[in-house]
Each structure stands twice: as C-alpha cells, then as structure tokens.
C-alpha cells in the first residue's frame, strides 16, 4: 500500500485519544474511528504512522493492528476469545515432554519446569505433564483458574495475549511475559526449546530461523503494546 498522508497525530477527545492522519480520523475496517484510552499508546500509534515508509504493509503498524483488534474484535467477542486462550493452558506446550534423548529431556526440564512452578504459585494451577503428544486431562478447576486470570485483563491486554499465546503455544509463557516475569526473547527461546536443541545437533534451518524471527517480532510488539497500556 502507498502512503497517503503527511502527518499523523493523536488528539484527546471525550476521555480518549483519536488518531488523525492529516487531521482526518483514522478509520477502522468496521468504519468507526480508532480511539484508545491510553495516551502513551496513542502517541506510539501516531508515531508508527508518522514513520511508516512510502510503501507500507500492515506489519509496519503492529500497534495499530492490536488496538484495532481490541476495539473491533475483543470488545464484541471477549468471552469466546478468553475461552480460546484458556484452552491453550489446558494443552500447554510446557506439559508435553520428550521421552528421549536424555539431553533434550534435561533441557526441557531446565527451561520449562520453572514456569510450571511459577504458574502454580501465581494462579494455583498444578499442570500435569506427559511424554508424547496424546492429550492429557488437566485438573477440572484449571480452566476456571486460567479464565479468571485472563478476565483480569482489559480488552487491550486480551488483544495482546491473543497474539502472544498462539505464537508461543503456551498460555503459561504468555502470562509470564505479560506480567513481566520474563522478556520476549526468553519466552520465544523457551517456546522453541525442541527446535533449538535439534539445531545444535543438525545445524541451523533457514526457514525455521526466519519463522522464529517473525514470532519474536510479533511477541516483542505485543509486549510493548501491553506496556503502553499501563497508563
């Protein structure tokens, strides 16, 4: 897409901030203007539009995409989205372990067990683990506790987690990242434990590296979005 504006700004209006391009409201696909309640987020969204290249694509505007998702999707389907995110916790990546070889088993234990312990301390969820890929039944109250944890987030927080959690394949890592218990790079590395371990044996895969870089960019942008929504 070609850039069609010269200036971008965020202006206060009725307790929110409206994004304007050349003093015209930035319209969302569903037609309403983009309005956000956080000054820092509004300023950052205006900055990404101001800094957008002459030929731009949606990936150049990650904060805008997340704010749009919060306003147009999460606000309308919040309960369903929370239910989908909680389901990741019921089949969390960290619960499915390798049976062999021993070095990989040890690496998974080293990188994943601390976050299962963190989830137990933070949310009183005691996740079961297994070897292989066959589903395991978690404790009956686990879904309710994850749901309660997610319901504490605003629509903007849910929009960010809606990117982070599927990207990592782990609700536990996603919540730990959202709460500042680990950073984006560490979260992505933990989520890629198996792949990174295999590369130590067989060498780096370019497609896998490209994919991990894309995931890291998405997760990093979503974590920044969460920080900008703090006030």
Q: What is the pLDDT of residues 33-64, one digit of tens each?
A: 899 999 999 999 999 999 999 999 999 999 99
CB 231, CB 38: distance < 8 Å: yes
Q: Do domains 8-57 and 66-228 have the same CATH topology?
A: no
Domain ranges of the chain: 8-57, 66-228
Say yes or no to pLDDT of 31 above 80.
Answer: no
pLDDT band at residue 155 using 50, 70 and 90 as cut-offs? very high
CA atoms of 128 and 99, how far apart (whole Å): 15
What is the pTM (predicted TM-score) of this model?
0.95
Right CATH number for 8-57 from 3.40.50.2300, 2.40.50.140, 3.30.2180.10, 3.40.30.10? 3.30.2180.10
Please give the share of the chain, as a percent, with pLDDT higher than 70.
99
Q: What is the pLDDT of residues 114-132, one digit of tens each?
A: 999 999 999 999 999 999 8
CB 146, CB 86: distance < 8 Å: yes
Q: What is the pLDDT of residues 84-112, one digit of tens each?
A: 999 999 999 999 999 999 999 999 999 99
The residue written with tokens 């030929």 in the block is: 55
Residue 76, CB-side half-sphere exposure with 13 Å CA sphere? 6
Domain 66-228 sits in which CATH superfamily? ATP12 ATPase (1.10.3580.10)
């Amino acid at each position: 897409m070609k850039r069609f504006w010269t200036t971008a700004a965020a202006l206060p209006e009725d307790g929110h901030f409206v994004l304007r391009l050349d003093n015209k409201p930035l319209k969302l696909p569903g037609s309403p203007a983009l309005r956000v309640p956080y000054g820092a987020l509004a300023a950052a969204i205006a900055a990404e539009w101001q800094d957008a290249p002459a030929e731009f694509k949606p990936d150049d505007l990650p904060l805008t995409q997340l704010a749009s998702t919060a306003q147009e999707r999460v606000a309308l389907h919040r309960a369903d989205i929370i239910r989908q995110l909680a389901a990741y916790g019921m089949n969390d990546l960290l619960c499915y372990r390798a049976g062999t070889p021993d070095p990989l088993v040890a690496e998974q234990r080293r990188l994943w067990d601390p976050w299962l312990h963190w989830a137990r301390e933070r949310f009183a969820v005691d996740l079961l683990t297994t070897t292989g890929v066959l589903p395991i039944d978690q404790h009956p109250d686990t879904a309710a506790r994850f749901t309660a944890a997610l319901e504490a987030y605003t629509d903007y927080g849910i929009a960010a987690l809606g990117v982070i959690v599927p990207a990592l394949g782990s609700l536990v890592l996603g919540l730990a990242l959202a709460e500042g218990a680990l950073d984006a790079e560490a979260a992505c590395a933990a989520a890629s434990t198996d792949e990174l371990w295999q590369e130590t044996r067989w060498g780096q895969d370019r497609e896998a590296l490209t994919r991990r870089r894309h995931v890291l960019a998405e997760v990093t942008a979503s974590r920044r979005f969460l920080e900008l929504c703090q006030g």
